A and B are shown apart, each in its own frame.
Chain A
Amino acid sequence: MRPARALGLVLAFAALPCLADEVRVVSGAPDEVSVTIYRDLFALITETRTVELPAGAVTLEFDGVVESLLPQSAVVAGTGRELSETRYDYEKLTPGSLLRKSIGKTVTLTRTHRRTGKVTQVEATIVAANKYGVTFRTAEGNEAWQCSGLPERLTFSEIPDGIEAKPRLSIRLAGGEAGKRQVRVSYLAHGFTWSADYLGHVDAGAQRMDLLGWVTLRNLTGASFRNAQVQVVAGRLNLLDYEEDGTSLVGDTADYSSDEHLREALREAEEELADEFDDSAHFETVSSCYPQGPPAFGQVMTKRDSIGVVDAITAEDIGRFSDGSEELEEVIVTGTVALREKLADYQLYRLPARTDLNARQTKQVAFIRKQDVKIDRFYALRLADEAFEEDMIEEEGDRLHPMIRIGWMNQQADGLGEPLPGGRVRIFDGRHDSAVFAGEADIRDNPVGAPVEFAIGFAQDLTLIPKLPEDEEPQVNWLTLLTRRVSLPMELLIENRKSVPVDVEVRQGQMLQLTDIRVKRASQAPGRKAGDYLWRITVPANGAAHLDYVVSGRNSRED
């Protein structure tokens, strides 16, 4: 065990970061890259690089890191030296940064006469350049750029210091033995995401499904990786707001009560980020002037809009075409299946072979294929107050249509028994090429041994006609006054216009203003499910079935 070192002693800065005698070693490109993509719009990039270190103190610079790297997450291992300082201050070359960094520098101003084509060139010094405009000085005096109405072009002789063509992470190392080292540079970077997309081909009669799961991974950044080891992590990490030095672009993840809300926020952030990484969408020069021209027009603003921006491909689109359409530029890796392993309390899926992950690319690889999974495809309807507000049932006058639900137990005996990362499930009726799209739903992370249940749509040829208790006042008599219990008789008629008999699950949930609910005098003995009372009613083909019961509860309104 090594005791933690005292802080004051270790804070060894060099006097100035850029002394002339400082030794700089530049590492051009990594030998190997591993990219681990998370669902929360970031990736862990791990680079292996070989560097030749001199004996003395040295500043080691890593070129070609991913631009969106989070400096506070950077870790460099394997130098064998004491590391004192890490720096990442990448200023991208843009028209704005070029002008800002050229303040005080001499540039050439070229004016071209529109009619005669006469070219005049003068030396100019940039006096000020900010988002409100550019001011320069020539032998004649001070002028504002692009305010005269003449075509005016600025020419720079060089790119000013402090603007980098490539993102660069630099570290300062203490002196030590000279020699070749293999170092590992790892950091988190925004702009990567992945989702799980499932295709379920259902044979309703046999209650079986063939399940195919794809990992759809997406690189929104401008960085390309050659021959990279790629893996994705399935799990909900605790992440904190990026604005407060965390990693999450959607605020603290713990603040999202449900996976659905988190996923929704991430989808929105993903589109924003895709735009942000698309540099052409943000091409805009600083050019703004003093008031001039006819008063009605006020201040003249010159702004160059984006050129040739291609709409980003959304994850949604990819999912929609995920069964083989070649309209999009994604690469579908077929024939191989990503390999799963446990990582802490998450699942990690590793792409089986090294692959190129290019800028703004979407890639898909299968991670699960299961045949003949035992499922439960059934019709269900839940009677509770919130049922009318939520999407559990669809109201149509007095008639209610049950939902088509699919459920399974994730266990080997039923043909599954593999962890299923949460994602979108698209269900097709039929197990063959002629399968018909039947609906989709999002599932949450489904561990082995746990059930999944989701709705894919409404059954239009099944109706439930309730005689709901709202229709009449609860019966009040001396007994109800004494015990404060009320009874609501429920009479349900379920009609089946299908040519086959069906099972309909009816659930009695909580009712507003009633607590301590109990079901009594039911025409068929109820079971229980998630606190609700439950019946499975078999409705004959082209026939009907009845269910009658009484909900007894305590009137909480009088409390």
Chain B
Amino acid sequence: MRRTMWWLAGLCSAGAFAAGSGEDKQVSLTIYNSDLALVEHLRPLEVPAGVQRIEFAGVSAQIVPQTVNFAADGLELIEQNFDYDLLTPAKLMEKAVGGKVRVVRTNPATGTETTDMAEVLSTNGGTVLRIGSRIEILREDSLPARVIFDKVPENLRARPTLSVLVNAAQPVTGDARLAYLTRGISWHADYVAMFDEPGGLLSMQGWITLANLSGTSFANARAQLVAGDLNIKQGDSPGYRESYEDRARRAAGTEANAKPRIADYYLYPLAQPTTIASNQTKQVSFLESTDAKASKGYEISFSGFQSNDEPQSAQVRVRFSNSKAGGLGEPLPAGMVRVYARDARGQPQFIGEDRIGHTSAGSDIALRIGDAFDVTVQPTLRQTTATSKRLTDYDMSYLVRNARNVPVVLTLRQKGLMRVNEVRAESLKGRRTDADSFAWDVSVPANGETTLTFTLRQGW
């Protein structure tokens, strides 16, 4: 049955090509964060009655063929194929097996050309030809020989092509809708944040960066962007959950707003059609906010108890909130935040970057900027003492140095403790932050140092 269909298709294809290869009347893209886009082509169609093949050239090269959805009134879909077989010299010869080529030989001494018709018998490891009654290997003698092919096989394409085999009960004139998912198109947000430390303010500019690595250009497309992480099976699922202090988002926001949504995701439609060329990265501005309240903090965390000969730098965090009260009041799509500060001459200089996830409005964010050159911590495990078979007292001392000419506060966290844990003695009042962690806020004077000591008992 299938064989017959193909034969039929072959008969009709010549007439059908013109109908199917029309340009897009409209192309729409719904782009997700996760290297995925839904493409919808609307193309005019004019087909005679009967079984025929319609070709759609210029679809994404990274199409997921299983997701193709073809719809046109009056057409019954029989079969669909995606062809993107690159035309290469090797393929050209391979497809010529069983067919005829011309072999033009040049006399090395005189330059005289002689032409023979040849049948290509095989291309495995070398090209075997039949010329007249002789069988020979192409250029076995290493002498020049040009091979001329009359035609380039039709299924070797310059552009990725989707073809559908359809049956029309009667001639059809109308629009065909072709929708599919593709890889290679994605977007993310990029933020440029200027941190004014003395003023306690953060100005943010947000950009949407669209990247098209699908191998196909989409001209004049209507695009909308979906913010939200879809669950997509890709073999390697993330599975790994970031621990609290590694995350930029510290408290999830609950402020609702009027942004359009689909299902549980935010939707950002682009107001105007745009051309998304192949291999292009383009950026579109979407957020400009000045003067959000922001502050800087120092943090460090230790898992386990150890001594260190050398001081370790504290992490620097810039904290702000995208709440209305904080001055921003916008949900922030996932992306990279690059933070700048002004140098002594007022010129902005880059000071670090961090990634934020999709962040609902009203969330508390603490961006990790880098390590403080001048705020360091040197841990010393002074003594361990077993108090019972299962419990041990750890006598820790943390020397916090501040070489800045302003006082600083460092949040020091002791984390990853065993099931039973308690602080027996401490030089500063700390707090339990978790079932298995404690934190202390250590104030250090300008150009000075503070030592935090505590005894922590843990075991099981």
Q: A residues touching B (Cβ–Cβ < 8 Å)?
A: 1-17, 34, 36, 38, 44, 46, 71-75, 82-89, 91, 103-104, 113-116, 118, 127-128, 130, 132-135, 137, 140-145, 147-150, 186, 188, 231, 233-240, 244-247, 254, 288-295, 298-299, 341-348, 419, 444-445, 447-453, 515-518, 528, 530-532, 554, 559
Q: State whether A419 touches B349 (Cβ < 8 A).
A: no
A217 to chain B, nearest CB (A): 16
Q: State whether A343 touches B343 (Cβ < 8 A).
A: yes
10 pairs across A/B with beta carbons < 8 Å?
A16-B220, A44-B349, A87-B280, A135-B92, A148-B104, A294-B137, A294-B142, A345-B373, A447-B374, A530-B380
A325 to B368, CA, bound (A): 42
Among B309, B329, B330, the most chain A Cβ lie within 10 Å of the Cβ of: B309
Chain B hits for A530, CB < 8 A: 307-309, 378, 380
Chain B hits for A72, CB < 8 A: 190, 207, 209, 281, 283, 336
User: Would you list which residues of chain B between 307 and 354 have a CB under 8 Å from chain A?
Assistant: 307-311, 313, 315-316, 327-330, 335-336, 338, 341, 343-344, 347-354
Chain B interfacial residues counted at CB < 8 A: 128
Q: B148: CB under 8 A from chain A?
A: yes
Chain A hits for B220, CB < 8 A: 15-16
Q: B273: CB under 8 A from chain A?
A: yes
B275, B373, B378, B389: the one contacting A346 at CB < 8 Å is B373
B312 to chain A, nearest CB (A): 9
A38 to B350, CA, bound (A): 9
Chain B hits for A2, CB < 8 A: 288-291
Q: State whether B374 touches A419 (Cβ < 8 A).
A: yes
Q: State whether A345 touches B316 (Cβ < 8 A).
A: yes
Contact A143:B149 (CB < 8 A) given known A89-B279, A291-B126, A345-B316: yes
Q: State whether A88 touches B281 (Cβ < 8 A).
A: yes
A426 to B347, CA, bound (A): 35
User: Would you list which residues of chain B between 202 and 225 have a CB under 8 Å from chain A?
Assistant: 204-205, 207-209, 219-220
Chain A hits for B188, CB < 8 A: 245
Q: State whether A288 touches B90 (Cβ < 8 A).
A: yes
Q: State whether A8 touches B268 (Cβ < 8 A).
A: yes
In the complex formed, the residue of A with least CB distance to B307 is A531
User: Would you list which residues of chain B between 352 and 400 have a CB under 8 Å from chain A?
Assistant: 352-355, 368-376, 378, 380-386, 389, 392
Q: State whether A341 touches B288 (Cβ < 8 A).
A: no
Q: State whether B354 touches A240 (Cβ < 8 A).
A: yes
Q: B154: CB under 8 A from chain A?
A: no
A36, A299, A345: the one contacting B375 at CB < 8 Å is A345
Contact A142:B148 (CB < 8 A) given known A3-B329, A84-B284: yes
Q: B residues touching A (Cβ–Cβ < 8 Å)?
A: 86-94, 102, 104, 106, 108-111, 123-127, 137-140, 142-152, 156, 158, 188, 190, 192, 195, 197, 204-205, 207-209, 219-220, 246, 259-260, 268-275, 277, 279-291, 306-311, 313, 315-316, 327-330, 335-336, 338, 341, 343-344, 347-355, 368-376, 378, 380-386, 389, 392, 401-404, 447, 449
Q: State whether A11 touches B272 (Cβ < 8 A).
A: yes
A499 to B195, CA, bound (A): 60
Q: State whether B281 touches A132 (Cβ < 8 A).
A: no
B68 to chain A, nearest CB (A): 25
A83, A115, A239, A298: the one contacting B126 at CB < 8 Å is A298
A75 to B288, CA, bound (A): 13
In the complex formed, the residue of B with least CB distance to A133 is B89
A535 to chain B, nearest CB (A): 17
Q: State whether A293 touches B139 (Cβ < 8 A).
A: yes
B266 to chain A, nearest CB (A): 9
In the complex formed, the residue of B with least CB distance to A345 is B372
Q: State whether B370 touches A346 (Cβ < 8 A).
A: yes
Chain A hits for B147, CB < 8 A: 143-144, 147-148, 290
Q: State whether B126 touches A294 (Cβ < 8 A).
A: yes
Q: State whether B88 touches A3 (Cβ < 8 A).
A: no
A8, A231, A245: the one contacting B209 at CB < 8 Å is A245
Chain A hits for B140, CB < 8 A: 293-294
B102 to chain A, nearest CB (A): 7
A343 to chain B, nearest CB (A): 5
Q: State whether B88 touches A135 (Cβ < 8 A).
A: yes
A1, A9, A14, A254: the one contacting B291 at CB < 8 Å is A1
A104 to B87, CA, bound (A): 13
Chain B hits for A17, CB < 8 A: 275, 277
A-B contact sample (9 more), CB < 8 A, given A15-B272, A291-B93: A7-B259, A11-B271, A34-B347, A36-B350, A73-B192, A132-B90, A150-B146, A238-B371, A516-B384
Closest 3 CB pairs of A and B: A531-B307, A144-B89, A290-B93
A231 to B349, CA, bound (A): 10
Contact A116:B311 (CB < 8 A) given known A4-B328, A4-B329, A135-B89: no
Q: State whether B86 touches A295 (Cβ < 8 A).
A: no
Q: State whether B106 touches A237 (Cβ < 8 A).
A: no
A240 to B335, CA, bound (A): 11
A295 to B347, CA, bound (A): 66
A294 to B141, CA, bound (A): 8
Chain B hits for A244, CB < 8 A: 355
B93, B150, B378, B386: the one contacting A554 at CB < 8 Å is B386
Q: State whether B313 touches A445 (Cβ < 8 A).
A: yes
B139, B197, B282: the one contacting A344 at CB < 8 Å is B197
Chain B hits for A289, CB < 8 A: 89-90
Chain B hits for A290, CB < 8 A: 89-90, 92-94, 123, 127, 147
In the complex formed, the residue of B with least CB distance to A287 is B89
Q: State whether B283 touches A86 (Cβ < 8 A).
A: yes
Chain A hits for B144, CB < 8 A: 148-150
Chain B hits for A532, CB < 8 A: 307
A290 to B373, CA, bound (A): 60
Chain A hits for B158, CB < 8 A: 103-104, 127-128
Among B88, B143, B220, B447, the most chain A Cβ lie within 10 Å of the Cβ of: B88
Q: State whether B209 touches A531 (Cβ < 8 A).
A: no
Q: State whether A86 touches B207 (Cβ < 8 A).
A: yes
Q: State whether A149 touches B376 (Cβ < 8 A).
A: no
Q: State whether B385 touches A516 (Cβ < 8 A).
A: yes
A288 to B383, CA, bound (A): 70
Chain A hits for B269, CB < 8 A: 8, 11
Q: State whether A86 touches B376 (Cβ < 8 A).
A: no
B145, B204, B268, B327: the one contacting A7 at CB < 8 Å is B268
Chain A hits for B280, CB < 8 A: 87, 89
Chain A hits for B208, CB < 8 A: 11
